[in-house]
Amino acid sequence: MKNWQTAALSGIAAVAVVAGVVAQANDAVTTGLTSWMSGKNHNRLIQVQNEGGLQADSGAVEVAYYSNSSFSITSPRGISLLVDPWRNDPSGAWGLWYRLDFPKVEVDIGMSTHAHFDHDALDKIDASMLLDRMAGSFRLGDVKIRGIADKHQCVAPGIVPWTEAVKQFEGREKICAPGNARHMDNTLYVIETGGMKFLMWGDNRPDAPEEVWKKIGKVDVVFVPVDGSKHILDYAQADSVVARSGARIAIPHHYLVPETTFYTSTLLPATEWAKTHEHTMLDAPSVMIRKADLRGKKGHVYYFGSHNKVKM
């Protein structure tokens, strides 16, 4: 081979290697968690470790709604956590659900109940730490979190038989426990702060085993997935979850918020369900809850409706 041919081939190989490195670098930038790119730090967590919190005890827990099934909870001492940030389905199989990206919210703790696109966009938030489908116990400052492993609802009770679509996508007839795939697992979270217990149901099955209910115990506030299409739970199932949990306040989620979510999601508002109970139609995207607010309530619904922190 002549010298110029060798040089040319070497040059092509070098370009190919460089191109491969650049492609991999670009891939690293555009996929997966991006925590390494954040200009923030976890000095807040160090302060909590040393002082037990970030502020004096306010006596109240702030609950803020970020549309779909995503909420933030801020403890009386200022520790913030955000559950179930969402994204559009990266596979494209479920179509376009959301009108916009989830905001880059800065929180102390990011959490996900299960591995579905409308609950697992932990890369979209700027969190000091992540608890993804956590089972077991975790404590920081005035916040205690218990994760209880169970299973996702696997029989669609409503007008859209999405569980049949799951069977088609997976190419098998049975998607329920115990032989389910990972995405049909679900973790329930009991968050204790401000002298109250908050139960994040995620998309859990309504007929959780007795041992799961024993681990949950009685709670004060339950976040329950219910909407007019009965996508995850129908009205009777949602009512049974609220009743069994003993919650004084029930907050619906996984319903249509037209300002953030397309009708292609097949979801509908939860207004009808809310109105079948004693209810408060909230007029802002966040609410402060104190233990005194629980008095005299039993399954009282707090409904955010379209009020949300993503697009107000």
The reported pLDDT for the residue numbered 28 is 46
Residue 201: pLDDT above 70? Answer: yes
**Residue 251 token pair:** 């907050």
Residue 26: pLDDT above 60? Answer: no
Mean pLDDT of 143-147: 98
Tell the burial category of 39 from Cβ atoms under 10 Å away from its Cβ (0-12, 13-18, 19+): exposed
Domains and CATH numbers, the chain: 54-303 (3.60.15.10)
d(CA 283, CA 42): 33
Residue 25: pLDDT above 80? Answer: no
Percent of the chain with pLDDT over 70: 90
Mean pLDDT of 14-39: 56
53-99 pLDDT per residue, tens? 999 999 999 999 999 999 999 999 999 999 999 999 999 999 999 99
Cα R_g (the chain), whole angstroms: 22
105-124 pLDDT per residue, tens? 999 999 999 999 999 999 99
Mean pLDDT of 258-274: 97
Neighbours of 298 (CB within 10 A): 14
| 8 Å CB contact between 285 and 308 | yes
d(CA 190, CA 147): 7
Residue 303: pLDDT above 60? Answer: yes
Residue 17: pLDDT above 70? Answer: no
d(CA 61, CA 44): 18
The reported pLDDT for the residue numbered 31 is 64
Residues 6+ apart with CB under 8 A from 219: 190, 197, 198, 199, 245, 246, 247
The reported pLDDT for the residue numbered 34 is 83
